[in-house]
Amino acid sequence: SQTIHQWPATLVQPVGSPLSLECTVEGTSNPNLYWYRQAAGRGLQLLFYSVGIGQISSEVPQNLSASRPQDRQFILSSKKLLLSDSGFYLCAWTPGRGGSNQPQHFGDGTRLSIL
Amino acid sequence: AQSVTQLGSHVSVSEGALVLLRCNYSSSVPPYLFWYVQYPNQGLQLLLKYTSAATLVKGINGFEAEFKKSETSFHLTKPSAHMSDAAEYFCAVSEGLVGSQGNLIFGKGTKLSVKP
């Protein structure tokens, strides 16, 4: 069966420090991968999605970047964190070429606090 | 463009009472619709999905939702609330295009509280 892993679960970082959050999927090939940020009362905001290695689409301009160095690995990064980057970050996947009737499957998230 | 509106950011019910969480969507093409549940500090878990088959969709944990095209609604219901149902619920819509990358548009969520 397919599983998705995110780490770390929680992270406290000072303003201006770098960031790297990792997400990996097991048990499937060529998944579509997504990064979301969830802020209180604002629902889920799609940050990036990827349909293949090295293919990244950004939904909103921001202080963050994403990379997909391997088929089932999706990384969220920042060179210098801002206070506004605080939030709950979620990674998700769907089967590649599965079409839009496929649900997204979520990891357990990373709680990022910026001090 | 697709959009989702969840009416009521907070809903409170008594244990054993009916749960009704409202979701209205906007879509220029036949939509695919989803309900997710999120427990504190966890990811989202799929409750159920509508993909143009039966309009009444049954999900996990006793939840069900009915797709009503004329009302552009996809409300989530459960006949009898349990304490364990306390969580945040998200409605989402996906454009019904074959071969699309499966992006979802989420509502802002409804927090369900269950009183003993």
Query: Is B98's pLDDT higher than 60?
Result: no
Inter-chain residue contact B44 with A90, CB threshold 8 Å: yes
Alpha-carbon dihedral sign for residues A38, B18, B78, B84: positive
- Mean pLDDT within B56-71: 95
Q: Which of A6, A44, A99 sits opposite B106 (nearest CB)?
A: A44
Residue B48: its H or E element: strand B44-50
pLDDT at B39: 94
Question: Helix H segments across chain B?
Answer: none
Residue B62 in tokens:
């006793």
- Alpha-carbon dihedral angle through residues A9, A12, A16, A17, given to the nearest 10 degrees: -60
Which amino acid, residue A61?
Answer: P
For chain B, the first-to-last Cα distance in angstroms comes to 41
- Mean pLDDT within B13-20: 98
As a whole number of angstroms, the distance between CA B18 and CA B109 comes to 19
Inter-chain residue contact A32 with B46, CB threshold 8 Å: no
Query: Is B101's pLDDT higher than 80?
Result: no
Q: Which of B9, B90, B100 sits opposite A100 (nearest CB)?
A: B100
pLDDT digit of tens for each residue in chain A (115 aa)?
889 999 999 999 999 999 999 999 999 999 999 999 998 767 888 899 999 999 998 877 678 999 999 999 999 999 999 999 999 999 999 988 766 678 899 999 999 999 9
The answer to whether B41 faces chain A, any CB pair under 8 Å, is yes
Alpha-carbon dihedral sign for residues A88, A107, A21, A12: positive
Q: How confident is the model at residue B28 (pLDDT cuts 50, 70, 90)?
A: confident
For chain A, the first-to-last Cα distance in angstroms comes to 39
Q: How confident is the model at residue B53 (pLDDT cuts 50, 70, 90)?
A: confident
- Least confident range from A96-100, B23-27, B60-64: namely A96-100
pLDDT in tens, A8-31: 999 999 999 999 999 999 999 999
The answer to whether B109 faces chain A, any CB pair under 8 Å, is yes
Q: Which of B57, B46, B55 is nearest to B90 (CA)?
A: B46
As a whole number of angstroms, the distance between CA A67 and CA A75 comes to 5
Residue B66 in tokens:
């009915």
Spell out which residues of chain B touch residue A32, defining contact as CB-CB under 8 Å. 101-102
**Contact status, residue B73 vs residue B81, Cβ threshold 8 Å:** no
Spell out which residues of chain A touch residue B49, defining contact as CB-CB under 8 Å. 101, 103
pLDDT at B99: 47
